[in-house]
Structure 1
Amino acid sequence: MTAAQGGRMTRVALVGDRAPHIRAHGHIPPLLAAIADSDDLLLDTYWVATCDVDEGTLKEFDAIWLVPGSPYRDESGAVEAARIARVHGIPFLGTCGGFQHALLEFARHECGFPDIGHAENTPWAEEHLIVPLACSLMAWEGVVHVQSGSLAEGVLGTDLITGRYQCAYGLSSTYRDVLQQHGMRWSGVDGDGEVRIAELPDHPFFLATLFQPELSEGDESAQAITVALVRAAVAHKESRPVPVGPSA
């Protein structure tokens, strides 16, 4: 009997507002399906709109991927998805807008900035954690230097990759140090030292990238991030108690 025939289903929540014009949304499900086939897994991927995020439901998943597509319909739902993954130890991946909102969640709930904003979503906010990039990264590729000894390096197997971007917003340098002091690790930067990968070392698997590994077709290093998320989800599933059915 194969693992897929006899194992329990591994469930991955794709949190985002699914839309046919967003390239990543078309790439992610087949990418996950290919990994499941390669690893002989029972993998269920389920889309959760940002307006439907609910802690009781989402914490039952084995992994949460906060996918690209910002501005999201419900910023609070995107932020809540990152919080649920962080506080419940659920494997998490945030890419592009997911990166931005994972940092927003951390700043609001761990760093004492409850009202800090995202310039794309709330341009009127007094403080912005996520701000327009000096140079837009829409349809852009760039080198990312990966920090030695980080989760990102262990996942990627290299200290240098090329990231593919579809974004125009990133982390404000004003708040970089304070997030780091509260436990966020900047594990990847571009040639100018700007943050492109973030992670939480005390979490089982919490990784966020401003670039989109799901668009890196043929690039095994970048796609290794998705493989690692799936394998972390399997480990999370196996750490859960086996459900007990009704007595015969």
Structure 2
Amino acid sequence: MIKLGIMGDFVASNATHIANNEAFDHAASRFGKAFQYEWVATDRIEPEFETIIHSYQGLLIAPGSPYKSMSGVLKIIEYARTHQLPVLGTCGGFQHMIIEFARNVLGITDAEHAESNPYASRLVINPLSCSLKGQQLDIEIIEKDSLVYSIFNTNTITENYYCNFGLNPEYQEQIHKAGFAMVASDKHNEARIMELKGHPFYVATLFVPQVNSNYEKPHPILIALLKAMEQYKEEGVRA
């Protein structure tokens, strides 16, 4: 059994959460292996950490921030980054994967998110100059040697957004050069997909691919995550 842990605080009225569950049902139908997903409330992550890291072969950092436990989310992201555990972050997940990287790799220990700490001096995640909530926009994949390009095998994709926050452009180049690479951007050259170099599957999307999926055409990035999880299980990677 391949098991995915969805790190997020499920809300039945949240359209992206409902779409998330449906999208992984779509992906599982094409995956062809026994697959199960479970939501893990973020305030459970720290008290149940050892159980969680040995229960799943991959993680989704779900949309829907602010989370009940930002510290729990950052801790599980750090584990996935440093232990080769496949992880996909979408919307709020994208934002928190960047904060974890800024704090623990770049040493910006006071890196913050404008949604939870708007008056912080180091807003690595800040309000977008133009809200993307409810919009569908084109994205250009700019790094042709990236895992992301191999997943989509095209230069341009069209995706749906549900967010008001993104990577502060002031930190974009610094983060990119440190290895958490901007592999896809919008027409303003702002990050829309990030990928950690040297990791089997560590991808963050500002858009929510789960809402752009159906049984006839499951979203390719979700299928790619499941395949990476299968390989992780086969290789028996553990702490």
Using the size of structure 2 for normalisation, the TM-score is 0.93
Determine which structure has greater relative contact order: mean sequence separation of CA pairs < 8 Å that are 6+ residues apart, divided by chain length: 2
User: 1:183, CA displacement in angstroms?
Assistant: 1.0
1:35 equivalent to 2:27? Answer: yes
Say if 1:140 and 1:165, in contact at 8 Å, map to a contact too. yes
Residue 58 of structure 1 is aligned with which of 52, 58, 61? 52
Match of 1:128 in 2: 123
Q: What root-mean-square deviation, in Å, do the aligned CA atoms of Structure 1 and Structure 2 show?
A: 1.7
Residue 227 of structure 1 is aligned with which of 223, 226, 229? 223
Match of 2:16 in 1: 24
Q: 1:181 to 1:219 in 2, by over 3 A?
A: farther
Write out the 4+ residue segments of structure 1 that deviate beyond 4 Å after TM superposition.
218-222
Q: 1:30 to 1:121 in 2, by over 3 A?
A: same
Match of 1:152 in 2: 148
Say if 1:163 and 1:222, in contact at 8 Å, map to a contact too. no
- Determine what percentage of the aligned residue pairs are the same residue: 34
- Letter of the 2:190 counterpart: E
Q: 1:142 to 1:221 in 2, by over 3 A?
A: farther
User: 1:182, CA displacement in angstroms?
Assistant: 1.5
1:184 equivalent to 2:180? Answer: yes
Q: Which has the larger radius of gyration?
A: 1
Q: 1:184 to 1:224 in 2, by over 3 A?
A: same
Say if 2:23 and 2:213, in contact at 8 Å, map to a contact too. no
User: 1:208, CA displacement in angstroms?
Assistant: 0.4
- Give the whole-Å Cα distance in 2 for the aligned partners of 1:219 and 1:119: 36
Q: 1:162 to 1:171 in 2, by over 3 A?
A: same
1:240 equivalent to 2:232? Answer: no
Q: Give the number of equivalent residue pairs.
A: 233
Unmatched 5+ stretches in structure 2: none
- Letter of the 2:185 counterpart: V
- Letter of the 2:133 counterpart: M
1:162 equivalent to 2:158? Answer: yes
What is the 5 A alignment of 1:204-223? 204-218=200-214, 223=219
